[in-house]
């Protein structure tokens, strides 16, 4: 329970004293968040590779120091990291082929359209 002196320090209604955030500020924050996400996505394979390699080194260290439980755990994390890296590489390769073939179709259509106009 708060006493009267505490309420006078806070003010009559503390919820109303918080300034509201305008819509343009919210959109600007969303844009910064998307830019940050795109930057992380660009370097995501490197991040996965470094984390999987770190887990592999930690597993080797744990095997050498006779900590078998943590070695098995780090080995599983390393294997999972390398598997996800391979899957990410395969999916990017497949999607880039789909985009490339679509661009070729568009190029053929536009070049035929230009020939018809001439």
pLDDT for residue 21: 76
pLDDT of residue 101: 59
The predicted model gives 5-31 an average pLDDT of 69
- Compare 92 and 53 and report the one with higher pLDDT: 53
Residue 91: the pLDDT is 84
- Mean residue pLDDT of the chain comes to 79
DSSP per position, 33-97:
HHHHHHHHHHTHHHHHHHHHHHHHHHHHHHHHTT-HHHHHHHHHHHHHHHHHHHHHHHHHHHHHH
The span from the CA of 10 to the CA of 78, in Å, is 52
Instruction: Give the number of other CB atoms < 10 A from CB of residue 74.
Output: 21
CA atoms of 68 and 99, how far apart (whole Å):
46
Token pair 């503390």 is found at 14
Q: What is the pLDDT of residues 33-66, one digit of tens each?
A: 999 999 888 899 999 999 999 999 999 999 999 9
Q: So what's the pLDDT on residue 54?
A: 96
The predicted pLDDT at position 9 comes to 56
Assess contact for 13 and 49: CB atoms under 8 A. Answer: no
Q: How confident is the model at residue 25 (pLDDT cuts 50, 70, 90)?
A: confident
């Amino acid at each position: 329970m708060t006493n009267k002196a505490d309420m006078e320090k806070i003010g009559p209604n503390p919820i109303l004293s918080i300034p509201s955030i305008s819509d343009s500020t919210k959109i600007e924050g969303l844009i910064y968040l998307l830019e940050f996400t795109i930057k992380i996505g660009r370097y995501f394979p490197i991040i996965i590779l470094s984390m999987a390699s770190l887990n592999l080194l930690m597993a080797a260290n744990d095997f050498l120091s006779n900590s078998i439980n943590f070695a098995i755990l780090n080995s599983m994390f390393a294997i999972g990291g390398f598997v996800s890296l391979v899957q990410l590489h395969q999916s990017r390769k497949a999607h880039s082929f789909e985009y490339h073939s679509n661009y070729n179709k568009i190029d053929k259509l536009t070049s035929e359209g230009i020939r018809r106009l001439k």
